[in-house]
Each structure stands twice: as C-alpha cells, then as structure tokens.
Structure 1
Amino acid sequence: MNKTLQFILEIIRVSLILFIGLLILGYVEKTIVQLLGFTEFNWTLIFIADLLFIYILYKNKLQFTGWFKSTHNKTLSRSGTRFALGAAIFCFIIGIVTNIIL
C-alpha cells in the first residue's frame, strides 16, 4: 500500500477509536456519576477528560498497531503521561464537583 492510502486508513481508524472510546467512557462515567447520586454534571470538562484518556491510550499503545508506520512514532514520556493523566482526572473531578457547588 502506498503512504497516502495508509494515512487515510489511519485517519479512519483514529476516528473510530475516538467515536467508540467516547461512547464507552461516556456510558461508564454517566453510570458512575448516577450511582454516586448526582443528576447533573459539567459535560464539557468530562469530555475533555475523555479526550485526554484516549490521547494517552493512543500515543502509548494504539499508534504502534495501525496501518501507518512512521519513524516518528514514539510514546509519551513518563512525566508527560502522568501530567496528562492527572489533568484528565482533575477535569473529571471538577466536572462533577462544579455542579455540586453551583
């Protein structure tokens, strides 16, 4: 396969990973938040947290299993992964807590 076709297939794959990942994370988070007894929460911050989780997963694992092979593929550094994971957890918690406070 030529590089253009591989790139297009990889873009489709990334789009599917985002779509399916956001569906699964959204359902799990909605269930958890409802089990905790909250009825409303800030979806924007939780969406940002979900994007960060999927970004970490893609950069550290999924980019090496796709169609588009590149010499530039490398994982996030340990500190970069920790920072992004901390930011995602922070966004998730703030997304829930803001509606309790307000």
Structure 2
Amino acid sequence: MRVILELLRILLIFFLSGAFYSTMLSILYKSMGVSEYMWLGAVAVLILLFLIYRNRWQFSGWYKGEGRTKLSQKTTKLLIAISVLLLILPPLIHFTSL
C-alpha cells in the first residue's frame, strides 16, 4: 500500500509542480518574444523536479524500502548544468536567429 501511495505522491508532485513551473516559464518566454523550443524549458523543469525528489522529497514520503539514496554530487551537478542550459537555450536560439 505504501508503494502505491508513494507513486500517487510522485505523480501529483510531477504533474502539479511541473505544470505550474512550466506555465510560469512559458509566460516568461512569451514575454521575451520566444515562441519556439519552449519544450526545452519544460524538460529542464522536469529534470529539476527529479533532482529535488531524489535528493530530498523521497525521504519524507511513505515508501521506506531499499534503494532510497541521494544522487551523487557529480550527477547532481551535471543534471543542474543540463537544466540551466535547457532553460537558457530557447531565448538564446530566438535572439541569435533574429
């Protein structure tokens, strides 16, 4: 039962938080005049939510089984760098193509 509750919690976190932050990001992109490649920002948001879940939120949930470890510092830094790159790519592509 705990596994099902944790899966529902994960789905709620990713869908609700992901939708909220992706919407805020798309509003920001649209205010800058960016209309293409906005999906890259949404992917960045999902990667960041994954990082937060694996390094923090999984320890406060219902599931208490094995395999609950933080991501390594190297992996965390790499995923953050990829997310930042994905966040700045849409405006960068837009402004260099003008």
TM-score bracket for the superposition, by shorter chain length = 0.7 to 0.9
Count of residues in Structure 1 that have an aligned counterpart in Structure 2? 97
Map 1:58-77 → 2, pairs under 5 A: 58-77=53-72
Aligned counterpart, 2:22: 26
Aligned counterpart, 2:77: 82
Distance 1:21 1:95 in 2: 21
Aligned counterpart, 1:94: 89
Q: Structure 2: give runs of 5+ residues left out of the alignment.
A: none
Match of 1:8 among 4, 9, 13: 4
Q: Structure 1: give runs of 5+ residues left out of the alignment.
A: none
Identity %: 23
Distance 1:43 1:30 in 2: 7
Which residue identity does 1:50 align to in structure 2? V
Aligned CA-pair RMSD: 1.7
Which residue identity does 1:61 align to in structure 2? R
Structure 1 runs, 4 residues or longer, greater than 4 Å off:
none
TM (norm. structure 1) is 0.83
